[in-house]
Structures are given as C-alpha cells and as structure tokens.
Structure 1
Amino acid sequence: MVAERLTRQGLDVVIIDRELPGRGSTAASTSMLLWEIDQPLRHLSEACGFERAARVYRASLEAVAGLKSRVAELGIVCGMRDKNSLYLAANEISADLMEEHRWRMRAGLPGEFLDHGRLRDGFGIVRAAAIVSSGAADADPVQLAHGMLEAAIGRGARLFEAEAVAFEAAGRMVNVRLGDNREIEARSVILATGYVMPDIVQSSVHAVSSSWAIATVPQPQSVWNDGTLIWEDAKDYLYARTTRAGRIIIGGEDSSAIIEPEARDRLISEKSGILARRLAALWPVAKTDIEFRWAGTFGTTQDGLPLVGPVPGAKGIYAAYGYGGNGITFSFLAARLIGDLIAGKTSPLLHDFAIDRDGSMAGR
C-alpha cells in the first residue's frame, strides 16, 4: 500500500521484501476491515482526551472508505464486500457497551445499540448487548496485496527479493545495505516489515502477539444477518466473519507469550478445538467441522494505536508498525500519512501515532 501511494505521487520506488509478496502475516490475515480499533473509544478518550480519540476513530472510518474506493478505482479483484460490524458484549453486563455507544454517537460515528432481545432476534446470538455499525468490509488479503503491488509496478516500481540489513542516514540520502552486500541509495526509506522491527526502530509501547484461526466447511444454512463481521468488547477478543462460499472464519485465543513460529504452530490443533467450541457457543446452529486451520503473528501496541511516522534520530527514515487487529485499515492510513509527509505535508495524527510516544495507556 505504501508503494502504491508513493508511485501514485510520481516517485521512483524500490520495494525490498525478504519473502515472496503476500507471504507471512498477509496470508494469515482474516481480513476483517474494521474501522473500530482495538482500544474502545471510551477508554481512549479517558487516556488522551475526547477530541484526539474521536479524531483517530474518524480517520480509521475514512481509511476503510478510502481503501474500498482505491480498490474499485484500480479494479483489484479481491472479493471486497461492504459489511456491517457487530461489537458484542463479552459478559452478561450491557452497561459498558451502552457507554461506548454514547461516546461513539458524540463523535458522530455510525452505529445502533442492540439490547439482548434485538440481538437474539436479529442474529441468533445470545449476549447481553451489541453495537451494529456500517462502514466495514472484508476481502481476500493476498489478492488485495498483489493488486496493490501490481499497481505500483505498473507505474515503474521495482521489486527485489532480498533482506535489508542496515540503514545509514548520510546528508540528504539514506543508504540501505542488503544481505548480499548490495546497496541502495534513496532520499527516503519506509520500514513496513510487519511484526519484525529492525533495531533502528525503538518503541516502549510495541509488543508482539499470536492469534489462531479456523475456517469451517460451508454452512448448510444461511449465515447470520448477511455475514456481519463479529468481534467482542474484550482485550483478547474473539472475531468471526464469513466467506462467499458460506464458510465461517473464527479466530482469537491471542497470546503474547507464544510468538516463535514453531511453538505457535504446535498449538494449532489445540487452539482449533477451542475455537470450534467457542463458535458453537456463539452461534449454536453452526456446523463446526473444520476445513482449514492456521496461526499468525502480528505487532500491536499498549494503547491500540499504530506506530507511524519518522524514526527518531534517523533522518529520511519512516516506519509503519503496531497495527494490532486493524492491519489492513491502518496500512492504508499509514500509506497516506507517510506519502503526505514525504510530500511536505503533516497531520495531527502523526502525534497520536508517534513512534517514540510513552506508554501512558499501559494496562488498559
């Protein structure tokens, strides 16, 4: 997405990827394009003030809309579908969700509060309450990534399968050394390497976590209410969506203690069973036979906001990390912010997303 944005601005772009594009976390994504972020608006407002929190939420809503428009403009075939999102109470008390709904209404965000009865009647889900909101989407993440890459290459971007191992800012240029001792000299360098951050980027709020997911066999009956995207009002929330073929994808069981790929993947079988049982509890009519199962690792932050902007002490180097559960949405927003920075523009969001911000929201 960064490469697509920069080539759109007429810049000469080189893309370095140590893996084939679309591998790694992209292939593991469940691709729920939510504008709601991991930190509830009520908590974010308490921590940094309502205006700043509302600004972030509105920017995220605009990012999903902007991404959908860009996909349509470029003609990317990735199964992009407009969706509503259903934010579920994680316990038997609806007061927290009612408060969240009031904060969202104050910010001018879309959404409708559903009490227990309306939620049960409309979705077949038995929880205390939920907020249903418009403006979300889902898509095939690998096709989306390849479509963005093809657009960038079509404008002249060059792709190299290599590993960047060192960065040195010197004067007006940045030297990037590759693992085979080749070097690239550029006016600007953007680091967007998923959950693996190079040593040049230091953040006190960044953390790494793993998540597990399953996809069921196609359901024999229609899925809930047009396949609305589902997630919970909880720190390590359960999340679910559907596919065009009628499968249910459900994920969660997140853990920051298990991030090494081999250890993470050894738990796929155990976590799959847990997710199948949680699906049965969430939507009792589901056929829970598992057709696919997988795991992925991602970067997140203590305050739920991404790390986007200049790398402190490294002139000409920018970074985009810590997307949490909003990987694709924040990727699009990061591409816009960094593209504007390189063009000489700025945004108050860069303060909110600053790489060297402190952990004042830790523990929320």
Structure 2
Amino acid sequence: MHIHNGKLYWPQTTEPFEPQPVHEQLEWYDVVVIGGGMSGSLTAYQLAKQGKTVAVVDKRQFGTGSTSANTGLLQYSNDIMLHELIDQIGERPAVRFYELCLEAMDQLDQVAGHLSGRADFIRRPSICYASSVEDVPKLQKEFETLSKYGFPCEYWDQQQFENNLPFSKPAALITHQDTEINPLKFVQGVLRLAENHGVHLYPFTDVENVLDTSQGIEIRTSTHLFRAKQVVYTTGYETVPVGERIGADINRSYAIVTKPVEKISEWHERALIWETKRPYLYMRLTEENTVVIGGLDEDKPEAPFSNELLEERGQKLLDALHEHFPDQTFEIDACYAASFGESIDNLPFIGEHPTKPNHYYLLGYGGNGTVYSMLGSVILGDLMNGNVNSDAEIVQLNRKCGVR
C-alpha cells in the first residue's frame, strides 16, 4: 500500500535510524512484532521490559511508514466526544476509555523522559473551536461532561476566544495536559531503548506468511524464518497478514509544514488547535517554530501520486492558515498526503484474535493513534502474560467492529 507521497518534514529533523546488527538470530522468540512504527516500538519495549525475548520486523526502514507522516498532536480527547461515546457504549466504559487516554499521556511522558531531548515531547493545551454557531451546544455539553468526570478542561465564549487568538470563533473547549511531539524522533528513541533491552530489529523484512504449527508460530519473511510463541500485528493502516478488519475505513489526509517563523505572539500558549467540523482542520507549532496544518480528508485509501493535486491541496491549507493568522506570513516547506485509518465505532483494535490463540493486534485507528499505541502496549503487556486487564474488553477484537 502507498502510505504517503510528497515531501515529509520529520525526516529533515533527524538522521535515519540504523538498528544494531543482529549477530545471532534466536531459534525461538517469545514474541515477534510485525510492524516497527509507533505501536510496534512501544509494544516491543513494553514486552522486553517484562523479560520477553522479542524481534521486530518491518518491510521498510524503521519509522519511514506512517510515523514519518504523523503530525504529532497528542490529545486525551478523541474524534468522538465523551458524551457521544457514552451514548454509544455506555457511561462506565466510555469514561474509562477517556481515562485510559489521559493516563496514556502520562505514560508517554515517562517514556519520553528516557529519550534524547525528550523527542520534543512538550505538554500543551488543546483548543477545539466551534466551526459554526450551530456547534456551540455540542461544545457546551462536552465541557459539562468532561468536567463532571474530572477531566482537565475549560470553556471559552466568543469574547474569551478573541482575547486569546487573532481570529474569532463563537466558542471553544480547551483541554489541558495534551502534548506535541516529534513522532519520528520518539519512535527512533523507543527502538533504541528496546535494543538496550535485548530486542532484535529487522528492517526491510517483508512478512510473506504466518503459520500455526504444533510447536508454535512460524513467521516466514523475505529474509528470515522466525519462530515464536506469540505474534503481534502492529501493521497500522496496511492489510494485516492474518485476520480481517471489520468496520474500518482507510482514507487519506493532507498536511503542510511551513518554513520557520520568527515569532507568533498571538498563538495562545502554543496550543494544539482543531475544530468541530468534519473533516476538521488541525494545526500546531514545532520546536523549530514551523507550523503544521492538516486536513482536507478524502474517502480514498492511498496517497495520490499527482504533484499537481498535492500543490492544490497544500495551497488550500496555506490559505486556511492565513485566515486564522492574518497578520503572519507563511511559506510552505513540506507538503504531503498520507493514508489514515478510522474504525466505524471510533475505538482502536487491541487484543487477542477471537479464534486464533497467541495472535495479538494493536491497530490504533483514529485521530489519536499514538495515544492508542501507548495504552494498547500496556493492555497487551498484561494479556500476553496471562494477566487480567479489566480495560481490555472496551477495545477487544471480538466486537461488532473488530477483527475476524
């Protein structure tokens, strides 16, 4: 699958990751992780800390798939608001899922503390503004719901909004304890931590078949034969080697990154910004003082090859950025399109396959993929050790929108 096309930004900020050579492949691994992006790196690190022998295989160079196209906005809020999720799955599981996302922010913070420069992991507030007056009641209801259950947030009316930003919107919901991150630096750093815990990394290793045998699981690849007690699929938006996703859509989105700007004094606390309209625009600043803005989602699975289309979408995003910050001059440095996945029920796919023992999945579909990767690695760490995890039921594969 063609995951992205165009000029990416994050590879400009770091050197390519070169894993340590594996001098002696193990005859048996406790776990083989298929996919070495955000979900795969965090899962491998989590399992290695628990004493398991782990190998990670990726058909590309590590971090060059969806990780390099990730725009690095991390939030405990989701594309589906809490009050909407309560209506969908019930109060207890919906609130607990939001709690898991907030806990994952702190867990990611702890991991970042072990990385060089913290991988530009910086806590920021998020501003979700009402795209129209009609969306104000929805934001008010979400503020009341989040406040009721103790989530850190506040509400702005139009006057408060205008006091903090150079454009006007009728209202906004501000959530606290969110984060910006350089996703490529983060994944590279986590993979180095995993290597230090004995994880074997195999780039440019394409999985061709996965077979159950009387002794365990065989993973046949383009370069090696692996044997393992358990396997984890962290393949992101690409087709999984075993099983079928039910209730998932693969779409594509566009993003630009500007050249560095000297100063943006009216950007409230360098917050992450997004909106209620669907599909939504979203934007953030980076450590290099560039602006990342994305959106214009399309119901097509693969990134387009047309440079003309990329330029046209990039100009639309640049125009939108100028509308939000009219006194600022921006120039495009990077422009790209990328595939992303969404589940119909707005929850990730995490857990053991319902009919294939020892086959596990962590597919963080949705606008909160990095957060799902973190909370999923914790859930799998329990399940794969035979421990009870009371949260696993919320994201289990054996649901209407799951994996078969």
- Which range, TM-score by smaller chain? over 0.9
Point out the more displaced range, 123-132 or 4-13.
123-132
CA RMSD across the alignment: 1.8
Corresponding residue for residue 62 of structure 1: 103
**Residue 245 of structure 1: how far off its partner (Å):** 2.5
1:17 aligned partner, one-letter code: D
Query: Contact (CA 8 Å) 1:38, 1:325: kept in 2 or not?
Result: yes
Residue in structure 1 matched with residue 316 of structure 2 by the alignment: 274
- Deviation track 1:264-318 (CA, whole Å, cap 9, x = no partner) reads 7653111101111111222322323212211211222112211111122211010
Deviation for aligned residue 1:104:
0.8
Aligned to 2:72: 31
**Is 1:7 the counterpart of 2:48 in the alignment?**
yes
Letter of the 1:356 counterpart: N
CA distance in 1, matches of 2:273, 2:177: 13
Contact preservation (8 Å) 1:220, 1:287: no
What is the alpha-carbon distance in structure 2 between the residues aligned to residue 279 and residue 296 of structure 1?
19
Alignment counterpart, residue 239 of structure 1, candidates 279, 282, 295? 282
Q: Secondary structure at the match of 1:188?
A: strand
1:111 paired with 2:164, answer no
Question: What is the rounded CA distance, in whole Å, between the counterparts of 2:316 and 2:244 in structure 1?
Answer: 35
Q: What are structure 1's unaligned runs of at least 5 residues?
A: none
Quote the residue 1:251 is aligned against: 294
2:63 is matched by which residue type in structure 1?
G
SS at match of 1:55: helix
**Secondary structure at 1:261's aligned position in 2?**
coil
Q: Cα distance 1:84–1:234, how it changes in 2: closer, same or farther (>3 A)? A: same
Per the alignment, do residues 229 and 24 of structure 1 end up closer, same or farther by CA in structure 2, a change over 3 Å counting?
same
Match of 2:33 in 1: none
Instruction: Give the match for residue 286 of structure 1.
Output: 328
- Which one is further off, 232-241 or 51-60? 232-241
Q: Distance in 1 between matches of 2:308 and 2:398?
A: 35
Distance 2:137 2:58 in 1: 46
TM-score, with structure 2 as normaliser: 0.84
Residue 22 (structure 1) aligned with residue 63 (structure 2):
yes
| Change over 3 Å in CA distance of 1:107–1:292 after alignment to 2 | same
Question: Shift of the alpha carbon at 1:199?
Answer: 4.9
What CA distance in whole angstroms lies between the structure 1 residues aligned with 2:133 and 2:84?
A: 20
Per-residue deviation, 1:203: 2.5
Counterpart for residue 125 of structure 2: 84
For 2:45, the aligned partner's letter is E
Contact 1:81/1:138 (8 A) holds in 2: yes
Once residues 236 and 347 of structure 1 are traced to their aligned partners in structure 2, the CA distance between those partners, rounded to angstroms, is 34
Unpaired runs of 5+ residues, structure 2, are 1-41
The reply on whether 1:160 has 2:207 as its aligned counterpart is: no
Equivalent AA in structure 2 for residue 154 of structure 1: N
| Distance across 1 between alignment mates of 2:46 and 2:308 | 38
How big is the shift at 1:171?
Answer: 4.3
Cα distance change of structure 1 residues 266 and 206 upon mapping to structure 2, 3 Å threshold: farther
Q: In 2, Cα distance between the equivalents of 1:35 and 1:266? A: 36
Letter in 2 for 1:260: E
Inter-CA distance 42–140: structure 2 relative to 1 (3 Å threshold): same
Task: State the SS of the aligned residue for 2:56.
Answer: strand
Task: Describe the superposition over 1:61-116 as per-residue Cα deviations: whole angstroms up to 9, x where unpaired.
Answer: 11011101121145564111111111111212311100111111122111000011
* Residue 306 to residue 265, structure 1, CA distance change in 2 (3 Å): farther
Aligned mate of 1:177, from 208, 220, 245:
220
Letter in 1 for 2:107: G
Q: How many residues are treated as equivalent by the alignment?
A: 358
Residue identity matched to 1:279? L
Partners of 1:151 and 1:266 in 2: CA distance: 41
* Aligned-partner SS, 2:128: strand
1:130-181 Cα shifts (integer Å, max 9, x gaps): 111211111111110010000111111111121112212234621111134x
Contact 1:310 1:319 in 2 (8 A): yes
Helix, strand or coil for the counterpart of 2:376? helix
Whole-angstrom distance in 2 between the partners of 1:234 and 1:353: 26
Secondary structure of the residue aligned to 1:333 is: helix
Structure 2 CA distance for partners of 1:264 and 1:27, relative to 1, 3 Å: farther
1:342 to 350, 375, 384: 384
